[in-house]
Structure 1
Amino acid sequence: MMDRMVTSVPIVDVKQLSIGARLAEEVHTPLGGLLFAKGTVLHEKDIEILNVFFINQVSVENQEEVARSESAEQKAAERQVAAAKAPLEKAEAFQKSFDQAVTTLKNLLIRVQGGDNIPVMEVREVVAPILAQFQSQPQILLSLRHFARMDSYAYEHAISVGIISYMIAKWIKVPEKEWMQVALAGTLHDVGKMKIDRRILQKPGKLTPEEFEEIKKHTVYGYQIIKASHGLSEGVALAALQHHEREDGSGYPLGLPGSKLHLYSKIVAVADVYHAMSSDRIYQKAQSPYVVVEQLMQDSFGKLDPFIVRAFIDGITQFAAGTIVELSDGTLGKIVFTDRNQPTRPMVEVGGKIINLVDARHLSIVQVLEK
């Protein structure tokens, strides 16, 4: 009988790993948790995580030991420089597109304030390019406030809620043909405020009961404006009417329970609350996205749809690896791992040490700085 050939699995030092290497075996943290599954193709961020967890060697498939020539090192250095520049260039491009979309939307809605119907095709032309650009860098969801200008909050809020609503629709698997309508529902959810006295809208102090009753009418005004405009679905109109309704019937204007609310309104409600709470406003400073997300989780018990909240939290935190954050004790760190069971309490590297916020309950993320 011929001896059966045994092929050994190469064990490679993490320092020598090439981007694109495929793991031949599972990789576990020192405490036994699964870090990477067998068959995972390693990218730059994955190799960083291996280093953070002090994992020195891994088993890989077909990993070739190639001596690095000077030219190869030079090319690698050039790629690193290009990779470092890319996020900044993308952020600058997004800022430019975002500002342009805000300015254009403002001009369009001023026409609505003057009595015109919503120019639906023109609004679509504002929304579509920024959605396309956003899809290549969805991690911006954690730092939308960095693109804000206080003097045009209402229009930035509209664009941002449109973007967030669009992403939620994708994450909860709304049919693709409806994604644009959901984005328009988010963008136009507050269009009824064009009919509210600006002195009430911009009042820095607490509203009187009479003023709050007037504010609440924007939902009905929005429904009427959208119904009178061609090219928008009933769901878009109902999102304007119902985005302040709540699952337990405690919202306005009709006090409807969750079973009576349109799906678009439930999506927009989550997007609206998230962006409002994580933005600087006249009467409120922005809160950390992680603080806001924890609040959303609490609100999913009776106020907001729990399925949509969970999908949003899973979606927004999946892009967090590599993000620089400030903790509540003033230290800066980098998110290196997010447990899907505890998405608001990731592992953060601070000065070479890993802090697991699941265990360090006295700490929280108070600010997201950059990716």
Structure 2
Amino acid sequence: MPIIDVKQLTNGAKLAEDVHTVLGGLLFPKGTAIFEKELEILHAFMVQEVDVEDEALPQLEKKEAGGRGEERAAPRMKPAKDRLEFQQQFDKAISAFKNMMTKVQGGLSIPVMEVREVIAPMVQQVQEQPTILLALRKVSNVDSYAYEHSIAVGLISFMIAKWMKIPEKEWMQIALAGTLLDIGKTKIDRRILLKPGKLTPAEFEEMKKHTVYGYQLIKASPGLNEGVALAALQHHEREDGSGYPLGLQGNKLHLYSKIVAVADMYHAMCSDRVYQKAQSPYLVAEHLLNDSFGKLDPTIVYTFVNGITQFAMGTLVELSDGTLGKIVFTDRRHPTRPMVETNDRIVNLAEARHLSVIKVIEN
């Protein structure tokens, strides 16, 4: 039984021996036929050689004659230093954004260039390390949450725009649309904004006006395009017309507002708030995929979920049974159900449907 380089495997080649990970977990049993998906998993686990059955040899020799395939570059892991630098920038951004919004609340116009300068350094880091979006810090303080949420939605919106291949010249405008989505709340009575309990019908009607106030503030600010203003106005509208303030359906909504709506819902559900406990990013992503059709644009949701999960290899997570493990492979067909390696086994969440990722651990 020949032992061959994984890069030389051909479709349909069968394993002559079990393949294990470096920690001893069974990756593929003897007799498994290797196709594109299996090959991708072997690369992900950095398996370099495998035993194959003899009948694979003729095809192997043909492939050798044609030259070797290109090696796949493994995604760069996210070092602790990068995360610390990002968190420090994030904290500064929250403080700076809070000061800016206080000025707007006092009657000044939106300081657009200052907002750009606050988010620009973080945008660069998130482009290099998209998995940062899986571990944005959760804040339970109501006052701080509002500013953190704005910054986070701006960063997420930027990455969605990039993943959707929207023209690059629009990326920063979309980031600003996300960051300024709730700017209209500067015109809402703080007693309503900070109320710990459920709003009365009258209070909720007043709260909904933040979308209109935001549109008006942005329209009056140079340096922001119409899409940014419409994102503030429409980010609570839904594809089926069930949202507010105008009850518009999806074909009447601006693309920026659709992007910001996805980013807004994702970060809100991942965060601790007075009336809601934070959920795992993977559970939230699964909710968006499974339950949001008719509410959010499905193409944008799918693009976003694939974007934040495809580079998660090496991320430490906790499963719903209390097991700790490391994400070692993500199948694009099941982006919220990765393969997780623990000390003694590999759990394929696409098959183990009773389990889920309940926590992303910042290791």
How large is the RMSD of aligned CA atoms in angstroms? 2.7
In structure 2, relative to structure 1, the CA distance for the partners of 1:57 and 1:159 (3 Å cut) is farther
Shift of 1:26: 4.7
Kindly indicate whether residue 253 of structure 2 is the aligned counterpart of residue 256 of structure 1: no
Shift of 1:127: 1.3
- Runs of 4+ with deviation above 2 angstroms: 9-12, 24-38, 45-51, 55-63, 148-151
- The separation in 2 between residues aligned to 1:264 and 1:219, in whole angstroms, is 14
- In structure 1, which of residues 163, 171, 174 is the aligned counterpart of residue 155 of structure 2? 163
SS at 1:11 equivalent: strand
Q: What amino acid sits opposite 1:99 in the alignment?
A: D
- In structure 1, which of residues 174, 188, 202 is the aligned counterpart of residue 194 of structure 2? 202
Q: What amino acid sits opposite 1:50 in the alignment?
A: V
Kindly indicate whether residue 203 of structure 2 is the aligned counterpart of residue 211 of structure 1: yes
- The separation in 2 between residues aligned to 1:219 and 1:113, in whole angstroms, is 15
- The separation in 2 between residues aligned to 1:153 and 1:197, in whole angstroms, is 17
Do the aligned partners of 1:239 and 1:264 also contact (CA within 8 Å) in 2? yes
Shift of 1:239: 0.0
Shift of 1:298: 2.7
Do the aligned partners of 2:314 and 2:327 also contact (CA within 8 Å) in 1? yes
- In structure 2, which of residues 322, 343, 354 is the aligned counterpart of residue 362 of structure 1? 354
Which residue of structure 1 lines up, in the alignment, with residue 4 of structure 2?
A: 11
Q: Where does 1:66-145 land on structure 2 (aligned, <5 Å)?
A: 87-145=79-137
Do the aligned partners of 1:49 and 1:336 also contact (CA within 8 Å) in 2? no
SS at 2:223 equivalent: coil
Q: What amino acid sits opposite 1:252 in the alignment?
A: Y
In structure 2, relative to structure 1, the CA distance for the partners of 1:57 and 1:322 (3 Å cut) is farther
- The separation in 2 between residues aligned to 1:311 and 1:214, in whole angstroms, is 34
Identity %: 64
Kindly indicate whether residue 8 of structure 2 is the aligned counterpart of residue 24 of structure 1: yes
Q: For each residue in 1:216-246, what CA deviation from the matched residue of structure 2 results, as whole angstroms up to 9, or x when unmatched?
A: 0100000000011111000000000000000
Q: What amino acid sits opposite 1:209 in the alignment?
A: P
Shift of 1:361: 1.2
Do the aligned partners of 2:4 and 2:50 also contact (CA within 8 Å) in 1? no
- The separation in 2 between residues aligned to 1:291 and 1:122, in whole angstroms, is 35
Which residue of structure 1 lines up, in the alignment, with residue 166 of structure 2?
A: 174
Q: What amino acid sits opposite 2:145 in the alignment?
A: Y
Do the aligned partners of 1:26 and 1:37 also contact (CA within 8 Å) in 2? no
SS at 2:341 equivalent: strand
Q: Using CA pairs under 8 Å that are at least 6 residues apart, name the structure with larger relative contact order, 1 or 2.
A: 2
Q: What amino acid sits opposite 1:353 in the alignment?
A: R
Which residue of structure 1 lines up, in the alignment, with residue 237 of structure 2?
A: 245
Kindly indicate whether residue 273 of structure 2 is the aligned counterpart of residue 287 of structure 1: no
- In structure 2, which of residues 39, 42, 47 is the aligned counterpart of residue 50 of structure 1? 47
Shift of 1:194: 0.7
SS at 1:135 equivalent: helix
Shift of 1:299: 3.7
Shift of 1:149: 6.5
- Structure 1: 5+ residue runs without aligned partners? 1-8, 15-22, 64-82
SS at 2:135 equivalent: helix
SS at 1:335 equivalent: strand
SS at 2:79 equivalent: helix
- The separation in 2 between residues aligned to 1:263 and 1:99, in whole angstroms, is 29
Q: For each residue in 1:127-185, what CA deviation from the matched residue of structure 2 results, as whole angstroms up to 9, or x when unmatched?
A: 11111122221111111135x47351111101100000000001111111000000000
SS at 1:304 equivalent: coil
- The separation in 2 between residues aligned to 1:298 and 1:11, in whole angstroms, is 41
Q: What amino acid sits opposite 1:206 in the alignment?
A: K
- The separation in 1 between residues aligned to 2:101 and 2:288, in whole angstroms, is 30
Which residue of structure 2 lines up, in the alignment, with residue 336 of structure 1?
A: 328
- In structure 2, which of residues 305, 315, 338 is the aligned counterpart of residue 313 of structure 1? 305
Which residue of structure 1 lines up, in the alignment, with residue 184 of structure 2?
A: 192
Do the aligned partners of 2:140 and 2:271 also contact (CA within 8 Å) in 1? no
Kindly indicate whether residue 222 of structure 2 is the aligned counterpart of residue 222 of structure 1: no
SS at 2:238 equivalent: coil
Shift of 1:50: 3.1
- The separation in 2 between residues aligned to 1:36 and 1:263, in whole angstroms, is 33
TM-score by length of 2: 0.83
Which residue of structure 2 lines up, in the alignment, with residue 20 of structure 1?
A: none
SS at 1:286 equivalent: coil
Do the aligned partners of 2:326 and 2:342 also contact (CA within 8 Å) in 1? yes
SS at 1:145 equivalent: coil
TM-score by length of 1: 0.81
- Structure 2: 5+ residue runs without aligned partners? 14-27, 53-59, 70-75
Q: How many residues align?
A: 326
Shift of 1:56: 4.5
Q: For each residue in 1:259-283, what CA deviation from the matched residue of structure 2 results, as whole angstroms up to 9, or x when unmatched?
A: 0000000000000000000011122
